[in-house]
């Protein structure tokens, strides 16, 4: 799991945390928020990757993060019909590859 937190356009943290259980995942989220002294009421939370609204991780995380949202496709890209049935948050890293590999 990667946790990235920004405030007013400034990156506060971006770090990867390996976990095996949903309790481990929740611990890392709480640890980061506590370390940065952030209140969950002040956060807009976006989830990306292999997570669903029915997963154990999501059910646990929504207990202490107020209304987490699933992310959407990156702005500036147009997707065809083949992508209609894919959740927008699922392959976020892959969908952002054009921005990483393009020349400035």
Give this prediction's pTM: 0.75
Greatest Cα pair distance, the chain, in angstroms, is: 43
Which CATH architecture does the domain made up of 2-101 adopt?
2-Layer Sandwich (3.30)
pLDDT of res. 39: 87
pLDDT of res. 83: 73
Per-residue pLDDT tens, the chain, 104 aa: give them: 888 888 888 889 999 999 999 999 999 999 999 999 998 888 888 888 888 889 999 999 888 888 888 887 777 777 778 777 777 777 766 666 665 555 55
Q: Cα separation of 57 and 49, whole Å?
A: 12
């Amino acid at each position: 799991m990667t946790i990235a937190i920004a405030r007013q356009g400034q990156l506060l943290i971006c770090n990867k945390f390996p976990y095996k259980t949903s309790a481990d995942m929740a611990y890392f989220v709480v640890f980061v928020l506590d370390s940065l002294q952030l209140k969950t009421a002040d956060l807009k939370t976006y989830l990306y990757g292999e997570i669903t609204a029915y997963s154990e991780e999501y059910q646990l995380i929504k207990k202490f993060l107020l209304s987490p949202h699933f992310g959407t496709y990156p702005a500036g890209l147009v997707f065809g019909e083949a992508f209609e049935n894919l959740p927008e948050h699922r392959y976020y890293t892959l969908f952002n590859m054009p921005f990483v590999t393009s020349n400035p």
